[in-house]
Amino acid sequence: MTEEILPNLYKIEVPLPRNPLKAVNSYVIKEGGQSLIIDTGMNREECMRVMSAGLQELGVDLRKTDFFITHLHADHLGLVSSLATDTSTIYFNQPDADAISSGFNWDRAPNFAVLNGFPKDECNKAIANHPGRRYSSRGRLDFHILQEGDTLSIGDYFFRCIATPGHTKGHMCLYEPNKKLFMSGDHILIDITPNISLWSDDENPLNEYLNSLDKVYSLDIELVLPGHRRSFTNHKERIEELKHHHQTRANEVLSILKKGTRNAFQVASQMTWDMDYDSWELFPPPQKWFAFGEAVAHLKYLEEKGRVQKHRQGNGAVYSLK
């Protein structure tokens, strides 16, 4: 159930039923009676069951436990409202805390998607079934906000906060320079690529993400403990692959627009997706939703780079090559 990865640092693999991510990694550092939990799982029974059993196995006392949450997504933050006690501190970042307190963008994002060609009925279905909505934390959480360069220590672990915007606006990693250890959340993953999505006109998350990759590249890291899948050692190689991946995706978007003007939903439907469905039409609405978000993030990136032009069409937008 639990795996000791380094002295006093354990991993609990928390299952995410019927989710392509399969599981989220929760890390527990236990020193003396005190514990720090990094990311928690979704606010649903299947996660709680595994988490409770794991914490019990480790002898974690939740009254002496603090939490560090890498970003606002429900698979990382969701369960914290059930685990935290009134003596827990929940460390988090300001941009994601702001996104939560403004109701994330459950009103604005669907509007943005429909204006970019997402069919309204499918959009409603995607939103209704969105795991981020169903399994997020409940109630108001009191966060202790950390910023770039702030430190967080427990026992032998002296972490430094590294702001890595891109996957979310406030995504934050923890770096332990003495142990050359990097808790990457969803910033760098191996075997799968982190989802980079755009849900409003005034952001450019892919550009932020690529800058955050460059920032982490220069760190002296021996072991990456990510939010999903297995740990890995070759962070520079992985960062180069991720940058290459987004370059390839951007080129694919350009080659789709070479055939003519498209809205973002049409671009998404013509991109290649690593999914177990025979055609785009068979994708369940939530998968179309994630794919659309990625497509539009690449369009925005290319628009800012001057490669693509956005035109108004009715209330919406279409894109063409520049």
Q: Which residues bind Zn ion (CB under 5 A)?
A: 73, 186
The backbone torsions φ and ψ at residue 313, rounded to the nearest 5 degrees and listed phi first, read: -135, 110
Closest separation between CB of residue 40 and Zn ion, Å? 13
Closest separation between CB of residue 2 and Zn ion, Å? 22
Closest separation between CB of residue 212 and Zn ion, Å? 14
In the complex with Zn ion, which residue's Cβ is closer, 146 or 318? Answer: 146
Q: Residue 224: beta bridge partners?
A: 182, 232
In the complex with Zn ion, which residue's Cβ is closer, 117 or 170? Answer: 170
In the sheet that holds 151-154, the strands lie side by side as 151-154, 157-163, 172-176, 181-185, 223-226
In the complex with Zn ion, which residue's Cβ is closer, 58 or 141? Answer: 141
Q: In this structure, are strands 90-92 and 143-145 parallel, antiparallel, or unpaired? A: parallel
Q: Which of these, 289, 208, 301, lies nearest to 253 by C-alpha position?
A: 301
Cβ neighbour number for residue 2 with a 10 Å cutoff: 18
Closest separation between CB of residue 208 and Zn ion, Å? 14
Cβ neighbours of residue 289 closer than 8 Å, sequence gap 6 or more: 113, 118, 123, 126, 127, 130
In the complex with Zn ion, which residue's Cβ is closer, 115 or 275? Answer: 275
In the complex with Zn ion, which residue's Cβ is closer, 30 or 228? Answer: 228
Closest separation between CB of residue 186 and Zn ion, Å? 4
Position of minimal CB gap to Zn ion: 73
